[in-house]
Structures are given as C-alpha cells and as structure tokens.
C-alpha cells in the first residue's frame, strides 16, 4: 500500500512551526531605457512643431478668384469662367476675394487670361473695349519706334510721328509731331518674319484714321507715359515748343 508523505514544516528558532516562503509568479521586471524615452519625447515635439506650422499656413490662406478657363481679351467674364481657390495672402498681389465674385461677372478682360491664373483687379475693366467714342487701331513699329521693354496691356502711351531709319518721304506729318496725346495699349506681339512689333491701341474715334494711316506706313512711334496719370509729350515739330525747351 502506497503512502504519501506530508512535507515537513519548518520550525522557527524557538521551536514554533514556521511558514514556508511563498513563490510569486509574474512578468519579469522591465528595465527602463532612458535613451528611448528621450527619443520618444523628441519625436512628440517635432510632430507638434510640424502640426503648428501647418495650422499657421492654412490659417493664413484666404479664398480668392482664379481663372477657370481661358478668357480672350475684351471678352465679358461669366460665372463659369471663375473658380475659387485658397492661397496665402500677399499684399504685393492685388488678388480679388471670392466674396466679390458676383461683382466680377460682367466685367471685361483687358488682356488674354490663361486658365489657372489668379485674377487681379488690373486685368479687368467695367467697360467694354473699345468703349463709347473709342476705337482699336493697329500700328507696326520697328526698333527705335517704341521702348525696348515689352509693352503691357493698359500702358498709357503717346503716339508721335516718327520715321524708321533710312525712310525718306515727303508724305506724312513732320517727325516729332504728337498725333495722339494719350492712348492705351490693348495688346502687342512681335512679328515672326521681322523685328517689327505690332501693337493694338485704343484711341479716340477722332484720332483713329490718322493713326491707322501713318501707323501702317511705319511713320509713328510710341512714348510710354506714367501709369498713375498725368504727364504729356511736348510736340517737337512746333518751333515754339522747341524754343521753350
């Protein structure tokens, strides 16, 4: 017959029965790694900084108007031509807030507006081009008959009688005579066959015939006037004006 022996109890030093030490079961203690803790804190700070920068960039963006599809010069702007986009504000660019969309519809483009460009106030005019009492005329200019810098739509210019180098003719006004004291540049392009530049001007109807006649013959030149207004070109063909200088 098998017998089971009971475990002997330990006795304390004074002879009293003692208790056996208890075993504790659990996961082993984890050793803290300071380097990982520092790395985690650094990553949190970087993430917070990036989030703050993105928030500031998004917060500075405002809705403005953008050209949704190409608009020809002189065409009336329709609602379908416009789109809204959020961009960072910049005081150097006169963008148009999206809240003015209804006021923009019906205005006219003073120059071709490409798709995707931001709309600015200088690109629009409330009146059709040409307006009442105005006409659009073209002039062909050679180097020396206009500034070396490209003309921009809306530039104020004076139309002056001038002859290209080597051009001798008795027909036409004397060189230096002011034909039109103020006109507006509507557009310009360089000729593909020569160095000539074809410029479209907006002038008074009363001046249109003279500008067309002498402009087609290459007998005019352009002088750019201040954009803010004011300023005139003295008539060099007038002896009195020449003597006053």
Domain identity same for 206 and 154: yes
Domain identity same for 146 and 99: no
Which of 125, 158, 175 marks a domain boundary?
A: 125
Please indicate, yes or no, if residue 163 is contained in any of the structural domains.
yes
Domain holding 102, by residue range, is: 61-125
Q: How many whole angstroms separate alpha carbon 152 and alpha carbon 211?
A: 19
Are 119 and 82 in contact by the 8 Å Cβ rule? The answer is yes
**CATH at 93:** 3.90.1210.10
Which of 73, 100, 125 marks a domain boundary?
A: 125
Q: How many whole angstroms separate alpha carbon 21 and alpha carbon 180?
A: 115
CB-facing half-sphere around the CA of 185: CA atoms within 13 A? 23
Q: How many whole angstroms separate alpha carbon 123 and alpha carbon 72?
A: 11
Domain identity same for 138 and 113: no
Q: In the chain, how many domains are there? A: 2
Domain identity same for 71 and 118: yes
pLDDT in tens, 91-113: 677 889 999 999 999 998 877 89
Phi-psi region of 15 (alpha: psi -120 to 50; beta: other; left: phi over 0): left
Domain identity same for 143 and 210: yes
pLDDT in tens, 159-193: 999 875 555 555 667 888 899 999 988 888 887 77
Domain identity same for 164 and 225: yes
Domain identity same for 193 and 140: yes
pLDDT in tens, 191-214: 777 888 889 999 999 999 999 998
Please indicate, yes or no, if residue 79 is contained in any of the structural domains.
yes
12 to each of 16, 70, 88, 124, 201, how far by Cα in Å?
Answer: 5, 102, 84, 105, 119
């Amino acid at each position: 017959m098998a017998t089971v022996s009971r475990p002997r109890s330990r006795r304390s030093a004074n002879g009293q029965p003692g208790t056996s030490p208890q075993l504790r079961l659990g996961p082993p203690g984890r050793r803290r790694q300071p380097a990982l803790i520092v790395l985690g804190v650094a990553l949190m700070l970087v993430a917070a900084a990036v989030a703050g920068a993105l928030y500031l960039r998004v917060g500075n963006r405002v809705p403005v108007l953008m050209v949704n599809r190409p608009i020809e010069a002189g065409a009336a702007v329709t609602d379908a031509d416009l789109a809204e986009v959020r961009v960072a504000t910049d005081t150097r660019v006169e963008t148009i807030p999206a809240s003015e969309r209804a006021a923009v519809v019906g205005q006219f483009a003073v120059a071709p507006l490409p798709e995707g460009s931001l709309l600015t106030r200088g690109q629009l005019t409330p009146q059709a081009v040409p307006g009442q009492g105005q006409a659009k005329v073209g002039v062909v200019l050679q180097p020396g008959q206009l500034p070396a810098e490209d003309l921009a739509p809306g530039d104020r210019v004076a139309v002056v009688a001038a002859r290209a180098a080597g051009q001798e003719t008795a027909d036409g006004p004397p060189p230096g005579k002011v034909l039109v004291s103020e006109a507006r540049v509507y557009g310009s392009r360089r000729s593909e066959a020569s160095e000539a530049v074809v410029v479209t001007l907006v002038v008074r109807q009363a001046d249109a015939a003279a500008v067309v006649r002498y402009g087609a013959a290459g007998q005019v030149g352009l002088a750019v006037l201040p954009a803010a207004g004011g300023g005139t070109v003295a008539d060099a063909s007038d002896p009195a004006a020449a003597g006053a200088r």
